[in-house]
Chain A
């Protein structure tokens, strides 16, 4: 009996030791590997390779892979090659949770990169936080992501709510005769689209632009005709559309054309930045003329590493420089910032990387300088407004900024 009791105690102690070892290995995924090891640094990410966000998810995949091949061609980080493990989340917030848990606890990755969209970044960041991983991402700039105040989240891109700032500032700068008197704010129910349009509405109202329509519609509506009709009926001089993709903008544009309504200014949160896919969907360059969209990066961005990345992208994936999506730059920037943090901290320890990124250090990326505030927002991110002008996608705001050309205002009539 006594020996049995001893055996039980040893068994219990042994089990506890195993559990502790196991937990340490799991929780310390980012710290368990020796920085001096020559084994590759495993980086796990979950991307929307299918589903609603697949267009952006696949662009992100290309951006991550381009960075992986570049960094390995340059000898890796601290002498270690990097190896990406990419899982498909099918654009599902539930699946993204499962994927990051799998990456950390089963595949034992050293580092994690963020997924696409705020909707997926928010749950993914919680998983990474649970296991002590720094969570550097490029497409989760919505207040939804930062509202949790997780210390491990770092978004290299422009905070979503501020995307329309240059546009708002420009409208405010217009004289009373030029300034649109009325505005409509139709918004998709999405954490990317809604915050920036609501902030723009609040600021434009304060600047004397009266709101004639402000509604949130379901994000996955196959038919936007009734919503477009309602906006057109109000005849606003400015339309600020909280869109998430090309079909939403194209549907509103078709709806406005059908109602013979053409606003003085029309800006959409997303869609017009999708190059030829947008021009084709709206019926040609004539209809695209004057359409505006905010973004933090464009293929002609005057930054040496950005130009190099664009050239490499074209030679690796084909197409032309103008077809390189901003998603690619966001993904590439995540890799760049991560590499600098790993080099500076001498390893992949999550707590050290988090402390380093919160230290106020300024890092570089293809999207420009990166400095994080206490929430993990990039304080140095640039904000631009782009416009389609006679078949070309050009930077128009901020006024006087390097690369900005004169804005077309008021917007030409459809087909013009």
Chain B
């Protein structure tokens, strides 16, 4: 039993890295723009399809392909912002952005259905089914890669946010958009770039998701969005580092419950979410704390 628990914890921690990659963009976009991007699930799937296209049609390795998919998703993110989010104004902006993001999700899903159909497609690479033997456990290479990418991506986001001038403009925008405008920050530009960065990070999450999922369709995003939203709520909306901690907590809790009663694993996570939010309504690393860092 002890080894099973240790294995479950290892699987949970590694799986958490994958979810953090998928959720980082969501929490960044909320932190800066106050937008709950419900299109995040389909953006993850879009990232997976881009990796698929490069892998199958151009025979580019999945990791190498990130050099193309990340900038491509950045551009897609900026375009989405300028076309669908930026024109929204007024008191109803927050609720309207929800609808706009939902529309974006439907459009992307429709395009993917048209291009790839409804059959499952999958990503291929030697490291998807291989593993390394560490301390008596086999740890899957793709999860180790996913966790490492999560640490690197979140670390890079942290450096951009807290060690660059651009990061200061982002944080100023996060704290108070009106004040940011008054001191000369082009809030629209910052917002567009932030949406682009959030979408670019999602490209990495999409590749890893595609590799571990065993197959995906344009519809797969719906299974992801509720989990990703739960992670960013647990982390505290806007907290990027918190997303990694919350994701690890979620997947580890699920993996542990799987040992005894797998059909309860999802319910236990959401129960834990409710309990934590009751005690700490702002989440583990609440929004106020996140913006004050």
Binding site for B on A (CB under 8 A): 49-52, 54-55, 57-58, 189, 215-218, 220-227, 229-230, 233, 245-251, 253-255, 257-260, 274, 277, 280-281, 283, 287, 414
Contact = CB atoms under 8 A, between A and B. Distances in A.
B258 A223 contact: no
A55 B120 contact: yes
B217 A414 contact: no
Interface string B234-273: 0000000000000000010011001101110110000000
B140 A225 contact: yes
Nearest to A274: B120
Main secondary structure of the interface of B (DSSP, over half): helix
Given A54-B217, A246-B214, A281-B120, 17 more contacts: A51-B219, A215-B258, A216-B263, A222-B224, A225-B212, A226-B12, A229-B7, A233-B7, A250-B122, A253-B214, A254-B129, A254-B214, A257-B131, A259-B131, A259-B138, A260-B138, A274-B119
B88 to A, nearest CB: 27
Count chain B CB atoms within 10 A of each CB in A57, A245, A258 and give the residue with the most.
Answer: A258
B262 A218 contact: yes
Contacts of A51: 219, 222
Nearest to B117: A58
A353 to B, nearest CB: 32
Contact of A225 (B4, B121, B143, B224): B143
Contacts of B254: 226
B119 A251 contact: no
A233 B3 contact: yes
B18 interface: yes
B31 interface: no
Given A218-B265, A223-B15, A280-B124, A258 B251 contact: no
A11 B157 CA distance: 74
Interface in B130-159: 130-131, 138, 140-141, 143
B227 interface: yes
22 contacts: A49-B118, A217-B265, A218-B262, A218-B263, A220-B223, A222-B213, A225-B15, A225-B140, A225-B255, A230-B258, A233-B4, A245-B215, A247-B214, A247-B216, A249-B214, A254-B128, A258-B140, A277-B122, A281-B120, A281-B122, A281-B214, A287-B129
Contacts, number: 134
B113 interface: yes
B219 to A, nearest CB: 6
A226 B15 contact: yes
A223 B263 contact: no
Q: Which of A246, A253, A259, A414 has the most CB of B within 10 A?
A: A246
B8 interface: yes
A104 B72 CA distance: 48
